[in-house]
């Protein structure tokens, strides 16, 4: 396998080193970008932690180098996605020399293409700092939406104007500077438990703001206004912005190649037996957790909706339980063939299946983009981080789904599913989702916006 990567490297004009954040939703877009750059003739090396390491055998064109950073339990086995990111950066910063040495070992290697730059996940300021220390230019990949990029970049304003920290009294207040977000949609770092770690990461963030380019996994027709605002803001620092999404469609690297968990493909055979546009697909991504009660309410809400459904009940989905157990009596729904429950699905293939009518999602950015690209309308139930802002955009800006607000309770769930699948509002949301899918396809054509941006990005990398 190393042979293919070596053969490619010997003819490449330059090498790019990439450092993903080791969580599924961040790893996939970085590997997709790696695949797209490799297909354009660049040599690519992926540095990674032992935790959630990608499988090199699935990426024969890329080189992989493990970085021996020891990570705390809160990252490896912890529950809270936000805490994981902040603790991971603290660990990376504490082992700064390890990261720095790994980057430095790729500089000036005889017989190798020159190392042009690092592309690093935006949520890894500790790695950006290490690059700055050895004088290696770096670009930042944002695996969130452009709207969330703006939210993360506005903390000075959000605290300055009193939107944050959140208070009971201002949750429904519109954030005038970031429409259509409301205060309750914002990610509020002051709510996190370890404020010392949060502060340290924010400081790292500020130290590494100057970079050689900002890459965002979105596309012009989806977030044109947000991108225009970002370009305006970054132009003063001379930072180029590359809106290069949807990466999972732009890249030859598919979901199976980047999946950390084994996909249960029997769900595709099950979908083949279902009527066209009838099934609701339910998944809350790789990190979110629910209480036992919420899990039970979801099970009965889905069963009572009367619609066929495919549900990803991932290990660890229910807090404190290794493998979620379906409630008693629920087996009947399974036996009637009206539902299929799996631990992990080939999500991109599921969303592309003609039997799927809707997606109940937590609105992680990858899931949101994947749904948009297949023209599938959504029920949105954000749980943490950027998911609230994504859900707001789904309902208010693109109008391709509905937020499921309030208690996660079986009656509410049943109603929102019927609204999406049966009612005229759902039909309209599906029509708009199909239109948006057409726009996504257009941006990937040979003179489409994201294809042209990929050309620009390759030129830019070669110029560094």
Binding to ligand UDP, residues 182-221 (CB under 6 A) = none
Q: Is the Cβ of residue 201 or residue 286 nearer to ligand UDP in the bound state?
A: 286
Stretch that binds ligand UDP, among 145-153, 211-219, 339-347, 448-456 (CB under 6 A): 339-347
Question: How far apart (Å, rounded) are the C-alpha atoms in residues 96 and 85?
Answer: 16
Among 9, 14, 24, 146, the residue binding ligand UDP under the rule CB under 6 A is 24
Least separation in angstroms between residue 24's CB and ligand UDP is 5
# chain residues binding ligand UDP, by CB under 6 A? 20
Binding to ligand UDP, residues 229-258 (CB under 6 A) = 255
Least separation in angstroms between residue 295's CB and ligand UDP is 16
Least separation in angstroms between residue 293's CB and ligand UDP is 21
Question: How far apart (Å, rounded) are the C-alpha atoms in residues 152 and 155?
Answer: 6
Stretch that binds ligand UDP, among 22-30, 108-116, 372-380, 404-412 (CB under 6 A): 22-30
Residue among 174, 152, 216 nearest 457 (CA):
216
Question: How far apart (Å, rounded) are the C-alpha atoms in residues 86 and 199?
Answer: 9
Residue among 334, 370, 355, 343 nearest 264 (CA):
343
Binding to ligand UDP, residues 271-300 (CB under 6 A) = 283, 285-288
Q: Is the peptide bond before 165 cis (omega within 30 degrees of 0)?
A: yes
Q: Is the Cβ of residue 74 or residue 145 nearer to ligand UDP in the bound state?
A: 145
- Beta-sheet strands, E only, within 167-299: 214-216, 241-243, 279-283
Binding to ligand UDP, residues 340-399 (CB under 6 A) = 344-345, 347-348, 364-367, 370
| DSSP 8-state symbol, 402 | E
The gap between the terminal CA atoms of the chain, to the nearest Å, is 29
Q: Is the Cβ of residue 24 or residue 38 nearer to ligand UDP in the bound state?
A: 24
Burial of 39 (0-12, 13-18, 19+ CB in 10 A): middle
Least separation in angstroms between residue 433's CB and ligand UDP is 17
Binding to ligand UDP, residues 312-331 (CB under 6 A) = 312
Question: How far apart (Å, rounded) are the C-alpha atoms in residues 251 and 247?
Answer: 6
Rg (alpha carbons) of the chain, rounded to whole number: 22
φ, ψ of residue 47 to 5 degrees: the values are -90, 140
* Helix orientation angle between 24-39 and 365-373, rounded to the nearest 10 degrees: 60
Least separation in angstroms between residue 166's CB and ligand UDP is 21
Question: How far apart (Å, rounded) are the C-alpha atoms in residues 300 and 296?
Answer: 6
Least separation in angstroms between residue 362's CB and ligand UDP is 6
Least separation in angstroms between residue 376's CB and ligand UDP is 12
Among 5, 20, 22, 28, the residue binding ligand UDP under the rule CB under 6 A is 28
Among 38, 212, 259, 305, the residue binding ligand UDP under the rule CB under 6 A is 259
Among 20, 25, 153, 375, the residue binding ligand UDP under the rule CB under 6 A is 25
Least separation in angstroms between residue 274's CB and ligand UDP is 18
Q: Is the Cβ of residue 42 or residue 85 nearer to ligand UDP in the bound state?
A: 85
Least separation in angstroms between residue 339's CB and ligand UDP is 15
Q: Is the Cβ of residue 403 or residue 458 nearer to ligand UDP in the bound state?
A: 403
CB distance 23 to 287 below 8 Å: yes
Q: Is the Cβ of residue 274 or residue 347 nearer to ligand UDP in the bound state?
A: 347
Q: Is the Cβ of residue 17 or residue 31 nearer to ligand UDP in the bound state?
A: 31
| Angle at CA of residue 417, ends 247 and 180, nearest 5° | 55
- The SS3 of residue 300 is helix
Q: Is the Cβ of residue 128 or residue 367 nearer to ligand UDP in the bound state?
A: 367
* Helix orientation angle between 292-305 and 410-421, rounded to the nearest 10 degrees: 40
Residue among 246, 350, 218, 346 nearest 36 (CA):
246
Contact set with ligand UDP (CB under 6 A): 24-25, 28, 255, 259, 283, 285-288, 312, 344-345, 347-348, 364-367, 370
């Amino acid at each position: 396998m190393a042979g293919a990567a070596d053969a490619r490297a010997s003819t490449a004009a330059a090498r790019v080193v990439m450092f993903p954040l080791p969580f599924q939703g961040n790893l996939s877009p970085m590997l997709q970008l790696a695949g797209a750059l490799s297909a354009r003739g660049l040599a690519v090396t992926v540095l990674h932690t032992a935790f959630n390491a990608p499988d090199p055998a699935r990426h024969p064109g890329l080189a992989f180098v493990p970085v021996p950073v020891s990570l705390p339990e809160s990252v490896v086995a912890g529950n809270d996605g936000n805490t994981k990111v902040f603790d991971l950066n603290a660990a990376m910063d504490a082992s700064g020399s390890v990261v720095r040495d790994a980057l430095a070992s790729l500089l000036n290697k005889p017989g190798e293409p020159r190392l042009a730059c690092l592309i690093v996940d935006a949520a890894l300021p500790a790695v950006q700092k290490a690059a700055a220390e050895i004088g290696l230019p770096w670009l930042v990949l944002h695996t969130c939406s452009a709207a969330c990029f703006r939210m993360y970049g506005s903390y000075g304003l959000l605290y300055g104007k009193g939107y944050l920290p959140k208070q009971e009294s201002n949750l429904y207040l519109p954030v005038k500077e970031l429409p259509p977000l409301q205060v309750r949609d914002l990610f509020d770092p002051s709510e996190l438990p370890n404020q010392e770690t949060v502060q340290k990461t924010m400081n790292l963030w500020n130290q590494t703001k100057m970079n050689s380019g900002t890459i965002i996994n979105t596309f012009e027709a989806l977030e044109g206004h947000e991108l225009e605002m970002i370009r305006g803001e970054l132009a003063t620092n001379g930072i180029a912005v590359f809106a290069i999404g949807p990466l999972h469609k732009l890249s030859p690297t598919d979901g199976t190649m980047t999946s950390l968990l084994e996909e249960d493909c029997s769900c595709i055979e099950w979908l083949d037996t279902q009527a066209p546009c009838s099934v609701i697909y339910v998944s809350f991504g790789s990190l979110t957790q629910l209480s036992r009660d919420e899990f039970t309410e979801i099970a009965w809400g889905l069963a009572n909706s009367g619609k066929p459904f495919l549900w990803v009940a991932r290990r660890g989905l229910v807090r404190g339980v290794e493998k979620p157990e379906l409630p008693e009596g629920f087996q009947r729904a399974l036996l009637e063939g009206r539902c299929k429950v799996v631990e992990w699905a080939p999500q991109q293939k599921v969303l592309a299946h003609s039997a799927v009518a809707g997606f109940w999602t937590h609105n992680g950015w990858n899931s949101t983009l994947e749904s948009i690209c297949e023209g599938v309308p959504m029920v949105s139930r954000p749980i943490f981080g950027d998911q609230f802002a994504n859900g707001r955009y789904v309902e208010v800006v693109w109008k391709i789904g509905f937020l499921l607000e309030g208690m996660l309770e079986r009656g509410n769930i049943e109603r929102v599913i019927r609204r999406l699948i049966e009612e005229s509002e759902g039909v309209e949301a599906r029509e708009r989702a199909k239109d948006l899918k057409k726009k996504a396809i257009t941006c990937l054509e040979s003179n489409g916006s994201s294809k042209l941006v990929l050309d620009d990005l390759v030129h830019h990398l070669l110029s560094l």
